[in-house]
Each structure stands twice: as structure tokens, then as C-alpha cells.
Amino acid sequence: MEFGTKLIHGGISQDQTTGAVSVPIYQTSTFAQSTLGGSPAYEYSRTGNPTRLAVEKLIAELENGAAGYAFASGSAAIHTVFSLFSAGDHIVVGNDVYGGTFRLLNTVLKRQGLNFTAVDTRDLTTVASAITPKTKAIYLETPTNPLMHISDISALAKLAQQQNLLTIVDNTFASPYVQRPLDLGADIVLHSASKYLGGHSDLIAGLVVTKTEELGEKIGYLQNAIGGILAPQDSWLLQRGMKTLAVRMAAHQKNAQQIFEFLQQDSRISKIYYPGDPNGTDYQLAKRQMDGFGGMISFELTTDLSVKKFIESLKLITLAESLGSVESLIEVPAIMTHGSIPEKIRLANGISNRLIRLSVGIEQVTDLLGDLRTALNAAQNFY
Ligand SMILES: *Cc1c(COP(=O)(O)O)cnc(C)c1O
């Protein structure tokens, strides 16, 4: 089955008992058991729920993995994956990971005895030299948020295998339409499904897929033990959103490409970060590793333009955190999504106070270009 067909017919796409073409919302906490001491398919909804199972089977198929699990948020998914490790274990992590991940690792998991070394995962030598006898995994995002750095998943997974480490990829920015890390050798792929997978800014959810059944059983055990599960109504809404992932991603990518070309020819834009920039350092790798370049663009205005005035002059493009939705969203990472990262570390990683991140929506692109043009003019005339 092709990817776009899997989205509609993959996993459990119909109700077995009634034939309902939309999986019903099994809004129940428990399930009647027919015999004492039997092993029923469902017993309690934290452990398993048919609506959640449908979306879990679907994401496992989309990522070409053995098992999928759905969580109440991307953060809950990440926390559950890191619960594979024990006090004293060391993990090499990307130095440009999602701000909330940075916070979870540094203010929660460190206290519980895990150790981390943050490195630029684009540099294999640096990654290799960060590995210690206590290292258990390499954890990365590609493309990164918000600088769109691309790391070579195959090369990192090969290095990890040689040292008996797990490779864990946060695939939120690409979505499985654009990139499938398990095919490239990763062991675990995870998502904030609040972004492209849900796709409509109406849901918080997280997904995890493992390459092997064995790893899947471990994540399943932790999902039930920790309990950060996705509820039936949200599981249904997530699957409903995922059905259109292919058509949405094609539109996101087409619009992003045109906005990139528009920004590139405007002298008031001093920097652009976009995986599809042919002059970008990671372009060849992005072309090889991804099916398209995604819908995210970050950029900086020249210093004679007011960032505040630019953002506040936009009428269509909405100032908001989050990304991957049908409507275009814009934000300033330094004071929004990445505000929890200490300034010194943030600046050292290249996230300046003037950096703007745009999640390109699927509106008619001419309207988006018009909005950007008007706001640029307003920001220029401001001083
Ligand atoms: C949003 C996001 C997360 C966290 O997911 P939530 O659903 O908000 O908890 C993790 N990683 C990346 C890359 C994200 O963009």
C-alpha cells in the first residue's frame, strides 16, 4: 500500500463489529470479562482501548515499525521513552532540540540521575567523542527546531549500533510523510502529534514507534505503568486528522518552497534557514534523506527592521506557538518556544533574539505572500 492509501486504510480503519467506516470512540474505562482469570483483549483503558489501538497501529504502519503507542502529549511520549533508562545512564542529545525537551532533560531527568551531553549531531566525530562507557542512546531531531539543521540518521544509527546504543529520533518537524527514521536505521521514532499529524491546532498528543517487537513491549509496559495515555476522544480526533496528512503535507511543502523563494529575493531578509535552500550546508543530505523539505522556515530580518512591528503587522499569519497546522503560525523562538533555554546557551546555539520561525500553512500562497510583503513594508517604515 502506498503512504497516502495507508493513511486512509492502514491500521484499524473500520469497526469490526458494526462496519462503521470511522472507528468509534470507545468512551469506557473498563471492559466486561466473560470468564474469571481469562485473558480478554481489553480489560482497562489505561492498558488498552480500541480507539487508541487504531491510531497506534496506524502510526506503526506509517513509520514502518513493529509497534506504536499513543500518549497524552509529545512531552509524555518523550518522558516515557527516557524511562527506558536508569540512574547513572548517559545519553548523547542534539544541542538544538525542542525547548520543552531541553527542560525535561535538564530540570527533571537530571535530578533523577540521568546524564546528558548535548552536541551538534551533524558532526559525527563530536558525537563519537561524547560517547562514554555509560552511554545508552543517541537522541536527536532532524530537521531541528528552529534552525533546520539536518543530521545524517543512517550514519548516526550505524555509529550507535557499533557501540550498542539506541538511536532515538524526534520526527515531529518532518512527519512520516517526509521522513521515516526507522527505515534509515533508528530504533525508536517519536512525534509530538500536536503538530503535523493532528494538523489542525485542536489537539495535544504524542506517538512512539519502535523498530522491534522487543523494544515495543518495553515501551508498552512503561506506557501502562506511567499512564500518560491518549484518551479515546483525542485518539479518534488524531486519526481523523492523520487521514489527510498526505494532501496537507504536499500543500505545506509547495507553499513553503514559494515563500522561501520570495524571502530569498528580498534584501530585507538577512538569513534564511530552510532544508530546501540549495545554498544551505545540509542541502544534499536533506535531499537524500527526506521526501521533500517540509513546511518550516526560519529567518532573520536586517537590523533596520523592527521584528515586533513585522510580527504585529501580519493579518493572516497568526502569532502563536506550535506548528504543523493548516493555518500559518509565526513566532519568535527566543521569547516564546525557546524562552526556557538560558540566553547564553541559546545564543551560542545560533538562536538570536531576532530569529523568526514560520510554520507555513495551506492557505492560498498569494495571500500569504501579500501578508508578508505588507508586514515587511510596515516594519521598514517603522524607524
Ligand atoms: C511540540 C514539540 C514537542 C512536544 O510535544 P507536545 O505535544 O507539545 O508535548 C516535542 N518535540 C518537538 C520537535 C516539538 O515541536
Can 57 be counted among the known catalytic residues?
A: no
Q: Which ligand 1 atom minimizes the distance to the CA of 76?
A: 9
C-alpha cell at 254: 509547495
pLDDT digits (tens, 9 = 90+) for 171-225: 999 999 999 999 999 999 999 999 999 999 999 999 999 999 999 999 999 999 9
* CA–CA distance, 141 with 174 (Å, rounded to integer): 9
d(CA 339, ligand 1 centre) in Å: 15
d(CA 193, ligand 1 centre) in Å: 8
Nearest CA to ligand 1 atom 1: 192
Q: Which residues line ligand 1 (CB under 6 A)?
A: 73-75, 98, 100-101, 141, 145, 170, 172-173, 192, 194-195, 204, 206
Q: What is the structure's pLDDT at 383?
A: 62
Q: Which ligand 1 atom minimizes the distance to the CA of 172?
A: 13
In sequence order, the 6+-apart residues with CB closer than 8 A to the CB of 121 are: 92, 94, 95, 127, 138, 140, 142, 149, 151, 156
* CA–CA distance, 32 with 336 (Å, rounded to integer): 47
pLDDT digits (tens, 9 = 90+) for 103-113: 999 999 999 99
For a mutational test of ligand 1's pocket, the pick from 195, 201, 204, 238, i.e. the residue with the most ligand atoms closer than 8 A to its C-beta, is: 195
Q: What is the structure's pLDDT at 143?
A: 97
C-alpha cell at 247: 494532501
In sequence order, the 6+-apart residues with CB closer than 8 A to the CB of 251 are: 362
Nearest CA to ligand 1 atom 7: 74
Tell me the sheet residues that pair with 68. Answer: 209
Tell me the domains of the chain and their CATH numbers: 3-242 (3.40.640.10), 245-380 (3.90.1150.10)
Report residues of the chain scoring pLDDT below 70: 383
Q: What is the structure's pLDDT at 340?
A: 78
Q: What is the structure's pLDDT at 339?
A: 83
Can 195 be counted among the known catalytic residues?
A: yes
Q: What is the structure's pLDDT at 27?
A: 98
